[in-house]
Chain A
């Protein structure tokens, strides 16, 4: 219901190209955000399908549906897709791309064409990763960690998968440098650092991690490829190499990467709470600095993935100590979120429902992270399903739940329509219940000693695995319901007004969906982001 004098939405004016070309060659950050959203969704489904297949295999001991080597390539591809194609790009490239410029009052990101390039690289990487399934001598079977020397010796198609991850790293770097520059250069007049929405702060912190950590992954993966083709011997003990150095290099990137995943999610949560509590956020600066704090400390704890690998005991002690320090800024955030509900005027719509479950699930994941980080206990649970449970709680229960929260929250702005509230809540219920039935038993399994990446297991682990597999179906039902509701509402939902939730950040001041240029007139900002006076 757009008035005559309202500018056309970005759906209607696609630049010089027509049809699909107006999407895949667009430089509009909103269109790129949606491109990413669609691609993320597709890869997520592929990854999830592997997840369901793995659960099916693990429904009973012994061979159920696939052979050992197929199972091994399942969790490898599952891990690679979920990590590199879904959760690392995840929130920044979709919601971030769409809302970062809108929230800081800019017309676009700093480098629109590089933004597009990064999507192309992402697609290239994604397609190569999927191709590694069907080409070469069998799908890669190393796990997403590509540990040397196995990854150098195995005859499967590791090189292509690694190369795909390398390209994806490049794409991630480009997004990172784009966002850092955007935040520095394109804030609207009056938008000082401490007037930025906290989602922007979280993206900013994440972007720095992307810039500073990802190149290490790049070189590490490149070395795997070089090793496979030329046999230089950097990680091969018979040539003097040290396999543990591979692990150092890998985790130097991959630990900070887990904060690339969670920090934007925390940003989304911080954005949603004040809106549905109709009050200002508690402890704005503490939250902003804790994002930076998590990002910074996160660089120096990578060794906690290597407590049983044979590194020196001195370094274990120091890495363990530093690991605990990360818990403190995470805790600050959790407490601030809870405090922001105090004396609010709260309405539990779907976004807030997801946020509340986020806090609960993330706390479980985070607090069990402390058990991982403690030296004595890590020895027992490393490499077991306890770890698998931990990281699904933080990645799925944390990041993905926050992602879903953000999708619902910003849905009316992106598509100009409302989703069905009742259906959304119904889907949430299955998701939440299914999630816990699926992953909680893994904590117990892990504590009982069931190692991860096991195609087959002892009969004593059967019952819990069975429960877990049943949970995966409930979860799948929830996800399907949620996606159907959202997809249906894109066309059929009620028209949304420009500010359905009464939000106070800048994206709610423009029409839904926003016009190409975002703002007719660049706004002048005179106060902080969450003012409900």
Chain B
């Protein structure tokens, strides 16, 4: 069994340093102001020259040294705790991409939010599909960057049920601040039923397409209900006439399969009027089949 969690660990270290810092700050400030008042020129016209005092100087070298070494040690041992994931931890793969998270569970289930069972340690294996992101869960005081081409990790003990914020903490481009998600801590029972259920969107002939849109983070910027998000809505897109800007010139195009495909693979080529070129290109990110699944689903969205 593990004892303690990262929240407490970090809070304790923080409190320890904070108390020392406040005591130091107050005593320094107080002494300074006291001197300024006491030895004011009016009260004390004749200064006294004191060039040094060996004992005093040794004291204020030695005492801070001891203090900082204590801080270091305390911080380091807390850190070691945070870096040693328990054996029985549930592992979840977390992938950051511009600008969404994808969590993949051991059974292959993927989601954009992190759902974990209450009371069971979780180990996150983190990487990135494009640039550097940072996976940050303030409530559990943990954070680690998602670096492309590398795997990093985090672990935590979700010992309180509820929903907690999950941020991207490393600047990653235009929508960095909307790369937010949630950690949802639910009782084991609820988790199990969610975990084993197959995600099927009802009423769609192309459930695969829906799933892909979620997984790839498209729905962070696009909606399926006609509302304009960061990007244009998918609703009624297929077969519409779209005004795009290409190479600085306006042009009208017909949203057919070829156009959609191009828009997904190389969004920078035709920019929809009124939007900016911020959509991440999917050329390295999606297979042919995946794209056609998505397009099939888009056709459905009348």
Touch between chains A and B, by CB atoms below 8 Å: yes
Q: List residues of A whose CB falls within 8 A of some B CB.
A: 67-69, 72, 141-143, 147, 149-150, 153-155, 237-238, 242-244, 277-280, 282-284, 286, 308-310, 313, 316-317, 320-321, 324-325, 327-328, 331-332, 334-335, 338-339, 341-348, 356, 359-360, 363-364, 367-368, 370-371, 373-380, 382-384, 447-449, 451, 453-458, 532-533
A368–B41 CA distance with the chains assembled, in angstroms:
34
A238–B149 CA distance with the chains assembled, in angstroms:
7
A356–B36 CA distance with the chains assembled, in angstroms:
9
Q: List residues of B whose CB falls within 8 A of some A CB.
A: 9-10, 13-14, 17-18, 21, 24-25, 28-29, 31-33, 35-36, 39-41, 44-53, 56-57, 60-61, 64-65, 68-69, 71-72, 74-76, 78-79, 82-83, 130-132, 134, 136, 138-139, 141-145, 147-150, 152, 165, 167-178, 180, 268, 276-278
Pick from B47, B82, B168, B177: contact of A379, CB below 8 A.
B82
Given A283-B52, A449-B165, A377 and B131 touching (CB < 8 A)?
no
A159–B25 CA distance with the chains assembled, in angstroms:
43
Pick from A343, A347, A378: contact of B50, CB below 8 A.
A343
Contact B71 A370 (CB under 8 A): yes
Contact B47 A375 (CB under 8 A): no
Nearest 4 A/B pairs, CB to CB: A237-B149, A449-B138, A374-B75, A376-B78
A149–B64 CA distance with the chains assembled, in angstroms:
40
Closest to B268 in A: A155
Chain A nearest CB, measured from B179 CB (Å):
9
Q: Which residues of A contact B170 (CB under 8 A)?
A: 147, 383
Given A283-B52, A345-B47, A367-B24, A379 and B141 touching (CB < 8 A)?
yes
Contact B278 A320 (CB under 8 A): no
Q: Which residues of A contact B148 (CB under 8 A)?
A: 149, 237-238, 243
14 A-B contacts, Cβ less than 8 Å apart?
A149-B131, A150-B131, A238-B149, A282-B53, A320-B76, A328-B65, A342-B50, A346-B40, A347-B40, A363-B28, A367-B25, A378-B75, A380-B10, A453-B177
Chain A nearest CB, measured from B65 CB (Å):
6
Closest to A307 in B: B79
Closest to A329 in B: B61
A278–B50 CA distance with the chains assembled, in angstroms:
12
Pick from B36, B78, B132, B167: contact of A149, CB below 8 A.
B132
A147–B83 CA distance with the chains assembled, in angstroms:
25
Closest to B131 in A: A150
Q: Which residues of A contact B51 (CB under 8 A)?
A: 280, 282-284
Pick from A141, A327, A346, A364: contact of B36, CB below 8 A.
A346
Q: Which residues of A contact B10 (CB under 8 A)?
A: 376-377, 379-380
A202–B69 CA distance with the chains assembled, in angstroms:
27
Chain A nearest CB, measured from B57 CB (Å):
6
Pick from B41, B56, B75, B268: contact of A377, CB below 8 A.
B75
Q: Which residues of B contact A373 (CB under 8 A)?
A: 75
Contact A331 B138 (CB under 8 A): no
Chain B nearest CB, measured from A265 CB (Å):
17
A180–B141 CA distance with the chains assembled, in angstroms:
45
A454–B24 CA distance with the chains assembled, in angstroms:
33
Q: A68-B177, A310-B150, A363-B24 are in contact. List 5 more A-B contacts (CB 8 A).
A: A69-B174, A155-B268, A338-B35, A344-B44, A374-B75
Describe A's contact surface by its main secondary structure: helix
Chain B nearest CB, measured from A272 CB (Å):
13
Identify the interface centre among A286, A328, A377, A382: most chain B CB within 10 Å of its CB: A377
Chain A nearest CB, measured from B163 CB (Å):
12
Given A237-B149, A308-B144, A313-B83, A150 and B28 touching (CB < 8 A)?
no
A317–B56 CA distance with the chains assembled, in angstroms:
31
Contact B169 A451 (CB under 8 A): yes
Identify the interface centre among A150, A347, A380, A448: most chain B CB within 10 Å of its CB: A380
Q: Which residues of A contact B61 (CB under 8 A)?
A: 328, 331-332
Q: Which residues of A contact B25 (CB under 8 A)?
A: 360, 363-364, 367
Chain B nearest CB, measured from A293 CB (Å):
11
Closest to B78 in A: A376
Contact B52 A243 (CB under 8 A): no
Chain A nearest CB, measured from B63 CB (Å):
9
Q: Which residues of A contact B175 (CB under 8 A)?
A: 68
Contact B142 A342 (CB under 8 A): no
Q: Which residues of B contact A532 (CB under 8 A)?
A: 47, 49
Contact A457 B177 (CB under 8 A): yes
Closest to B62 in A: A328
Contact B142 A374 (CB under 8 A): no
A364–B21 CA distance with the chains assembled, in angstroms:
8
Closest to B146 in A: A310
A448–B11 CA distance with the chains assembled, in angstroms:
12
Contact B149 A383 (CB under 8 A): no
Closest to B281 in A: A153
Closest to A343 in B: B48
Chain A nearest CB, measured from B187 CB (Å):
25
Contact A278 B47 (CB under 8 A): yes
Contact B173 A150 (CB under 8 A): yes
Identify the interface centre among B32, B40, B56: most chain A CB within 10 Å of its CB: B32
Pick from A277, A335, A356: contact of B39, CB below 8 A.
A277
